[in-house]
Amino acid sequence: MNTHFKTYHPYVSPFDPCKPILEKAYSTPPNLYMGFQPPNLPQFTPSEALKAGTLWKAFYDPWFSPLEPGKGGLPQ
């Protein structure tokens, strides 16, 4: 199982005007790792699939806003 994001630590200068963000993250979605999709991958049920935006669980990689408190409840 691959992680859906990676992190790095930008250089911090004493002259940076804004409060430094010590760790930055970027998205690495599942399509980067799948290769040619093999047959018979586990699927969501149809109504879960619509909510997830994909029929196959392996591609599910939701993005939430920091402004949406306590969100969740999508298919596992």
Partner 1 sequence: MKQVPAEYYQIMEQLQTVDFVLVELSLYLNTHNEDLEAINQFNHYAKERKRIKKQFESQFGPLQQFGNSYSGYPWNWDDAPWPWQV
Partner 2 sequence: MWIYEKKLQYPVRVGTCNPRLAKYLIEQYGGADGELSAALRYLNQRYSIPDKVIGLLTDIGTEEFAHLEMIATMIYKLTKDATPEQIKAAGIEDHYVNHDKGLFYHNAAGTPWTAAFIQTKGDPIADLYEDIAAEEKARATYQWIINLSDDTDLNDGLRFLREREIVHSQRFREAVEILKDEQGKKKIF
Q: Is 54 in the site for partner 1 (CB under 8 A)?
A: yes
State the Cα–Cα distance between residues 59 and 53, nearest whole angstrom.
9
Q: To the nearest whole angstrom, how small is the minimum distance from the Cβ of residue 71 to partner 2?
A: 6
Say if CB 9 and CB 23 are below 8 A apart.
Answer: yes
**For the CA atoms of 8, 14, 15, 17, what is the dihedral angle to 10 degrees?**
60
In the complex, the residues that contact partner 2 under the rule CB under 8 A are 27, 29-31, 34-39, 50-54, 59-68, 71
Q: Pick one of 4, 34, 55, 57: the residue that binds partner 1 (CB under 8 A).
A: 55
Minimum CB separation from partner 2 for residue 65, in Å?
5
